[in-house]
Structure 1
Amino acid sequence: MTVFRCRACHRAVTPSVTERVLPDPDRDEEWYRPKAPETDADGHTDQPIVRMAPGTFAVDPEPSGPPYVLDGSSGVLIESGPSGTVVLNPGDGIGLEAHPDVAMRRGHCCGMDGEWGPNLVCTCGAVMATVYSDCYQVQELRLQPDAVERCD
C-alpha cells in the first residue's frame, strides 16, 4: 500500500492506495466505469465515467495538462504539462482545497475541468493537484509529481 504526502508539509493527501496499470483509453474493460449511463435532456449524468477505482492509483508517463503546444505533424494542440502525474479516483484526495485563485477553478456546469492547470492545493497552500470533475470529461484526480512524495 502507498500513501502520497505533500512534499511541503508532509501531510497525507491520499489514503492508502494500491498501484495498478493506467487504464488504456482504447480498451473500455480496464476503466472503472466503462459505460456512461443515460443522460438527461441537457446531456448531464450523475454517474460519469471514472478512470480509476477507489483505492487505486497509476502513474502516467505521458505529459499531462497545460501548457498546450501545437503538434507540428498533426496541427493539433497537445498537452505538454508534467510527466509522471499520479492518477487517482477523484474521491481519494484527502484535505485538498480549491485553488485560491478563482481563475484556476475554471469549469463548466458540473465541476472543475482542469484546463488551466492545477486547481487544488494542500491545506498548507502548496499547489498539489488537478481534479477533472465536469460532466463532459473523464473523472480523475492527478497529483503533481513535484508536489508529492510517495511513501510505500
Structure 2
Amino acid sequence: MTVFRCRGCRRAVTPAVIERPLPDPDTDDGWYRPVAGAADAKGHTDRPIVRMAPGTFAVDPDPSGPPYVLDDSSGLLVESGPSRTVVLNPGDGIGLEEHPDPAMRRGYCCGMDGEWGPNLVCACGAVIATVYSDCYQIQELRLQPGAVERCD
C-alpha cells in the first residue's frame, strides 16, 4: 500500500492506495466504469467515465497538462506538462482545496477542467494536484510529481 504526502508539510493527501497499470486510452480494458446513469436532455450524467477505481493509482510516464505545444508531425497542440503524474480516482484526494485563484478553477457546467494546470492545493497552500471533473471529460485526479512524495 502507498500513501502520497505533500512535500511541503508532509500531510497525507491520499488514503492508502494500490498501484496498478494506467489504463490504455485506446482500449476499454482496465478502465473503471461505474454503472452509467441516465443522461439528461443535455447529455449530462451523474456517473461519468472514471479512469481509476477507488483505492488505486497509476503513474503516467507521458507529459500531462499545460503548457500545450505544437506537434510538428500532426499539427495539433499536445500536452507538455510534467511527466510521471500520479493518476487517482477523483474521490481519493484527502483535504485538497480549490486553488485560491478563480482563473485556475475554470471549468464548464459540471466541474473543473484542469486545462490551465493544477487547480487544487494542500491545506498548507502548496499547489499539488489537478482534478478533471467536468462532464465532457474522463474523471481523474493527478498529483504533481514534484509536489508529493510517495510513502510505501
Tell whether the 8 Å contact from 2:6 to 2:148 is kept in structure 1 after alignment.
yes
Q: Where in structure 2 are the equivalents of 1:1-152 lying within 5 Å? A: 1-33=1-33, 37-152=37-152
* SS of 1:28 mapped into structure 2: coil
> 1 CA distance for matches of 2:131 and 2:62?
17
* SS of 2:104 mapped into structure 1: helix
Please tell me the root mean square deviation across aligned C-alpha atoms, in Å: 1.1
> 2 CA distance for matches of 1:77 and 1:38?
33
> 2 CA distance for matches of 1:21 and 1:37?
26
Identity %: 83
> 1 CA distance for matches of 2:22 and 2:60?
7
Tell whether the 8 Å contact from 1:28 to 1:34 is kept in structure 2 after alignment.
no
> 1 CA distance for matches of 2:59 and 2:129?
14
TM-score by length of 1: 0.97
Tell whether the 8 Å contact from 2:34 to 2:47 is kept in structure 1 after alignment.
no
Q: Which amino acid aligns with 2:69?
A: V
Residue 40 of structure 1 and its aligned partner are, at CA, apart by 1.2
Tell whether the 8 Å contact from 1:50 to 1:139 is kept in structure 2 after alignment.
yes
Q: Which amino acid aligns with 1:4?
A: F
Q: Which amino acid aligns with 1:71?
A: D
- Unpaired runs of 5+ residues, structure 2, are none
> 1 CA distance for matches of 2:29 and 2:44?
23
**Structure 2 CA distance for partners of 1:6 and 1:89, relative to 1, 3 Å:** same
- Deviation per CA, 1:47-76: give whole Å up to 9, x if none: 100000000000000000000000001100
- Tell which deviates more after alignment, 24-33 or 88-97: 24-33
Residue 25 of structure 1 and its aligned partner are, at CA, apart by 1.2
TM-score by length of 2: 0.97
Tell whether the 8 Å contact from 1:14 to 1:94 is kept in structure 2 after alignment.
yes
User: How many residue pairs align between the two structures?
Assistant: 152
